[in-house]
Chain A
């Protein structure tokens, strides 16, 4: 049956959902008030900055015109990133809360067209408000002689970051069922993803920086600030890291696009899956493995080229200044390398847990899958389906994560900064073993006992032992070895114990040095036995699910 296509995915101007929001969010009264306030604020900043710099300083004409640019960028960021994202998330939740989302599900449009309709429709008022600020920035850039490539790359990255943030808002609005929680979650997720996690860039995980507009703003700042301040900025900026991916050099803007694109596509796929089937997993199993591998590749690609120059190490930037001041040479400390290696391992593990949570089927999903399979006289669940178990995929991700973690460690330890220290390839087995046991323990427990059991074990096994150990370790040096043993109960400690035990650069007090090997060996064996026991029990459980169906 051939039907006329209502709107193609890219025909936004024909997209009924987009047009519906243009109608409801651009009503003359509401939009004129919003625009008036925006123009007033932007106009005030623009004129205030120009007037002050013109009459109170002896800046050149072009410098005067540049002075309001940074403040205007902040206003634009607030409109697009804060108000727009809140609207994307809140609007989506409101649709579901009111119950009208089912009407939209029933529209004969492709899921991609629906996602795009919401993505650009919900924050349409914020786009208009943003447009109201543009004349001021255009004037400032034109009269301030800001090169075209600078403002093109700047606004290009603002656009891609806006899409990324709005997709994040849309996703939380789609997933989180409670309206209040949806709003808080979206704010929390955006704060975590684009403010907290990018701080990991300071610990060698440079990739996360490119999920924000920071690198491009830093790159463009020379032209956005008045010339004297711009030159000083540029001198400081040269000390910062470059946008490098293995042996390739990119501009900051190009690499930001490259890094954000994958996340944008993944979020888009998640939303499309949910529009296709409201109960579907956010990601398919193969996509999850691909996404995880890609993030590992990005992390390594960004970090490894910076090791030899020392730019990977956060203390180097401070040292440069101190070198200039005191003439001393810089050498990374072993604790710095250890913490970066640990940060890499922990972030890889936490990310793996998140993906494992997404692709692991709930008991009821599995049983329904088996009922369907029995009805269709099949003896196996399709490998790619949401219903089939995810152990193999989690195992693959753990292997990738463990191998990448080891590679990162190997390159740091065997770099020129740590002569006499080695991380032989045979150590990779221990790194992979730690990653695999932690990842599988989570996945198997989740499949076997459900999300509640995992949540409780997060509190009592993951966090509580670390808290107790921290208190004991802080109380007395004599209790520190016991604290190490207690902390070992937490799966988050296993990567730390593995690193501390196997790497020769780790320098601890004698009593800790004695405790670490025993604690590591003991807890590694315990976790291995736990995983084997879970595998055995889960096997029986799966058979019973199959027969129950």
Chain B
């Protein structure tokens, strides 16, 4: 049996195979400065994907290219099967973009602002657009502010309003540049809830933030960029491992009083340093979770009765600072 060309294309682009975000060899230059170096990245549909990196990492440039707002030096960007650079108008129907420090117009009220974009995205007649605008306002808990001037909202409310605008046309891909910047903890929690809700409906969310702990809570996977280069990508733990930050500090409180650290502990896999302080053993450990479980098992086999066991990993901020520093030096 022979397969015709059209069949091949059907096989190749069946919806399940199409990544929501497919970036190939993306490069962005500003004068003599290269903001993004040959970035290649694929994000499956339905993911909440975080982009982490210090200032100047190339996050906003990447986002602007994804949102069809900037022409890259070269590269390809395909969102849900639509080539952003070749077919901007079609791509814009499936993209929702929220810029950093999202601005709002001074001459419109919140309801009008959303109705305008609903109309611009062709969401039906005036009443259908109004209904959709109300729905989105409700999603971000701004129904009471429908008749308020956009520019009179607080920072957090403005962010939520722009998020409502971003999700008006139910985009397949949401590109959110630092959506949590300027938000208080309560507003951040609300934002997190809203994003989870959106993801549960099948939207792919590409989000950047400096607040890594927040990304870790929110994202199914992340990638780390520094100086325009992709350093690692995957789940949070995978990224940690890729970045060589598998070390942790283990605190073990034995049941019996110890005078010194038993010698065999230094021989255990992964233990790089150990000290005893007020009856608590502090171990510096480098290894994966399997290796850590093995250590605990060895302790018990050797007759060390453990009353409590805790681990402390370096914070995300510490990792990022380390990555940025290493990247800068290299």
B-binding residues in A (CB < 8 A): 1, 3-6, 16-17, 19-20, 23-25, 94-95, 98-100, 102-103, 105-110, 276-279, 364, 367-368, 371-372, 375-376
- Chain A, residue nearest B162 (CB): A103
Please measure, in the bound complex, the distance between the C-alpha atom of A238 and the C-alpha atom of B7, giving whole angstroms: 76
Please provide the chain B residues from 77 to 122 with a CB less than 8 Å away from any CB of chain A in the complex: 82, 88-90, 92-93, 95, 97, 99, 101, 103-108, 112, 116-117, 119-122
CB pair A375–B116 under 8 Å, yes or no, is no
Contacts of A105 in B (CB 8 A): 68-69
Let me know if B31 is at the binding interface, CB within 8 A: yes
Contacts of B108 in A (CB 8 A): 20, 23-24
Let me know if B27 is at the binding interface, CB within 8 A: yes
CB distance from A520 to the nearest CB of B (A): 41
CB pair B165–A103 under 8 Å, yes or no, is yes
Contacts of A277 in B (CB 8 A): 71
Please measure, in the bound complex, the distance between the C-alpha atom of A103 and the C-alpha atom of B107, giving whole angstroms: 15
Please measure, in the bound complex, the distance between the C-alpha atom of A319 and the C-alpha atom of B99, giving whole angstroms: 67
CB distance from A432 to the nearest CB of B (A): 37
- Chain B, residue nearest A107 (CB): B120
CB distance from A452 to the nearest CB of B (A): 14
Contacts of B245 in A (CB 8 A): none
CB pair A372–B165 under 8 Å, yes or no, is no
CB pair B73–A371 under 8 Å, yes or no, is yes
CB pair B116–A23 under 8 Å, yes or no, is yes
Let me know if B67 is at the binding interface, CB within 8 A: yes
Closest 5 CB pairs between A and B?
A99-B103, A16-B120, A24-B107, A6-B122, A375-B74
CB distance from B272 to the nearest CB of A (A): 45
Contacts of B107 in A (CB 8 A): 24-25
10 example contacts (A-B, Cβ-Cβ < 8 A) are as follows: A1-B90, A20-B116, A25-B107, A102-B99, A105-B68, A106-B69, A108-B92, A110-B89, A371-B27, A375-B74
CB pair A371–B29 under 8 Å, yes or no, is yes
CB pair B120–A368 under 8 Å, yes or no, is no
CB pair B99–A364 under 8 Å, yes or no, is no
Please measure, in the bound complex, the distance between the C-alpha atom of A42 and the C-alpha atom of B30, giving whole angstroms: 53
- Chain A, residue nearest B29 (CB): A368
CB distance from B141 to the nearest CB of A (A): 22
CB pair B74–A103 under 8 Å, yes or no, is no
CB pair B67–A19 under 8 Å, yes or no, is no
Contacts of B165 in A (CB 8 A): 103
Let me know if B32 is at the binding interface, CB within 8 A: yes
Please measure, in the bound complex, the distance between the C-alpha atom of A19 and the C-alpha atom of B234, giving whole angstroms: 45
Contacts of A110 in B (CB 8 A): 89
Chain B window 203-240, contacts with chain A (Cβ cutoff 8 Å), 1 for yes, 0 for no:
00000000000000000000000000000000000000
Contacts of A94 in B (CB 8 A): 106
Let me know if B25 is at the binding interface, CB within 8 A: yes
- Chain A, residue nearest B115 (CB): A23
Count of chain B residues with Cβ under 8 Å from any Cβ of A? 37
A-binding residues in B (CB < 8 A): 25, 27, 29-32, 67-71, 73-74, 82, 88-90, 92-93, 95, 97, 99, 101, 103-108, 112, 116-117, 119-122, 165
CB pair A108–B121 under 8 Å, yes or no, is yes
Contacts of B105 in A (CB 8 A): 24, 95, 98, 100
CB pair B93–A372 under 8 Å, yes or no, is no
Contacts of B82 in A (CB 8 A): 1
Please measure, in the bound complex, the distance between the C-alpha atom of A5 and the C-alpha atom of B116, giving whole angstroms: 16
Please measure, in the bound complex, the distance between the C-alpha atom of A371 and the C-alpha atom of B36, giving whole angstroms: 13
CB pair A23–B112 under 8 Å, yes or no, is yes
CB pair B117–A103 under 8 Å, yes or no, is yes
- Chain B, residue nearest A373 (CB): B74
CB pair B120–A24 under 8 Å, yes or no, is no
CB pair B69–A6 under 8 Å, yes or no, is no
Contacts of B68 in A (CB 8 A): 105-106
CB distance from A77 to the nearest CB of B (A): 26
Please measure, in the bound complex, the distance between the C-alpha atom of A277 and the C-alpha atom of B69, giving whole angstroms: 8
CB distance from A242 to the nearest CB of B (A): 47
Please measure, in the bound complex, the distance between the C-alpha atom of A110 and the C-alpha atom of B101, giving whole angstroms: 27
CB pair B117–A364 under 8 Å, yes or no, is no
CB pair A99–B99 under 8 Å, yes or no, is yes
Please measure, in the bound complex, the distance between the C-alpha atom of A25 and the C-alpha atom of B71, giving whole angstroms: 33
Other-chain contact of B92, A1, A98, A106, A279 (Cβ < 8 Å): A106
CB distance from B101 to the nearest CB of A (A): 8
CB pair A3–B32 under 8 Å, yes or no, is no
Contacts of B71 in A (CB 8 A): 277, 279
Contacts of B90 in A (CB 8 A): 1, 3, 108
CB distance from A40 to the nearest CB of B (A): 25
Contacts of A278 in B (CB 8 A): 69-70
Contacts of B67 in A (CB 8 A): 102, 106
Contacts of A103 in B (CB 8 A): 117, 165
Please measure, in the bound complex, the distance between the C-alpha atom of A372 and the C-alpha atom of B28, giving whole angstroms: 11
CB pair A4–B31 under 8 Å, yes or no, is no
- Chain B, residue nearest A30 (CB): B107
Contacts of A16 in B (CB 8 A): 116-117, 119-120
Please measure, in the bound complex, the distance between the C-alpha atom of A105 and the C-alpha atom of B89, giving whole angstroms: 10
Contacts of B121 in A (CB 8 A): 6, 107-108
Please measure, in the bound complex, the distance between the C-alpha atom of A386 and the C-alpha atom of B40, giving whole angstroms: 27
Please measure, in the bound complex, the distance between the C-alpha atom of A1 and the C-alpha atom of B108, giving whole angstroms: 33
CB pair A375–B92 under 8 Å, yes or no, is no
Other-chain contact of A376, B74, B97, B99, B103 (Cβ < 8 Å): B74
Please measure, in the bound complex, the distance between the C-alpha atom of A436 and the C-alpha atom of B313, giving whole angstroms: 71
Other-chain contact of B25, A17, A106, A364, A375 (Cβ < 8 Å): A375
- Chain B, residue nearest A114 (CB): B120
Query: Contacts A106-B92, A108-B120, A108-B122 given; 14 further ones with Cβ under 8 A?
Result: A3-B89, A3-B90, A5-B122, A20-B108, A23-B108, A23-B116, A24-B112, A99-B103, A106-B97, A108-B92, A108-B121, A278-B70, A367-B29, A372-B73
- Chain A, residue nearest B64 (CB): A102
Please measure, in the bound complex, the distance between the C-alpha atom of A3 and the C-alpha atom of B169, giving whole angstroms: 13
- Chain B, residue nearest A105 (CB): B69
Contacts of A5 in B (CB 8 A): 122
| Given contacts A1-B82, A278-B69, A279-B71, A108 and B104 within 8 Å (CB-CB) | no
CB pair A100–B73 under 8 Å, yes or no, is no
Contacts of A107 in B (CB 8 A): 92, 117, 120-121
Please measure, in the bound complex, the distance between the C-alpha atom of A375 and the C-alpha atom of B74, giving whole angstroms: 7
Please measure, in the bound complex, the distance between the C-alpha atom of A252 and the C-alpha atom of B101, giving whole angstroms: 53
Contacts of A19 in B (CB 8 A): 116, 119
- Chain A, residue nearest B118 (CB): A16
- Chain A, residue nearest B107 (CB): A24
Most buried by B among A16, A19, A279, A364: A16
